[in-house]
Amino acid sequence: CLDGEGKVHEFHSSWRTDDCNDCSCSRAGISCCTGYMTPVDYDKEKCECIFNKETCSYKVVEKDDHSKECPVHSWVG
């Protein structure tokens, strides 16, 4: 399989892209999906979500104080 960056991958191999997608190669081609969960149910007035590309994860924190995490009631991914 040839990915979007021009790299060749063997059949039945899998990898994580720089933008945190989990991909796999089969004889049918490449399939990719997000390798992280996205917060959807939290206090959007008081809080904001910040994506960390190093850990491929979101953190939900208070807008006025990023050291304080906010509760998240639902995630999708």
The widest CA-to-CA distance across the chain, in whole angstroms, is 50
Distance (Å, rounded) from C-alpha 41 to C-alpha 58?
A: 13
- Report angle CA 48, 38, 36 to the nearest 5 degrees: 130
Domains and CATH numbers, the chain: 1-35 (2.10.70.10), 38-76 (2.20.25.590)
Comparing 46 with 4, which gets the higher pLDDT? 46
pLDDT, position 44: 97
Distance (Å, rounded) from C-alpha 13 to C-alpha 15?
A: 7
Which tokens go with 12? 């039945």
Residue 57 predicted with pLDDT over 90: yes
Place of tokens 């990023």: 66
Residue 77 predicted with pLDDT over 90: no
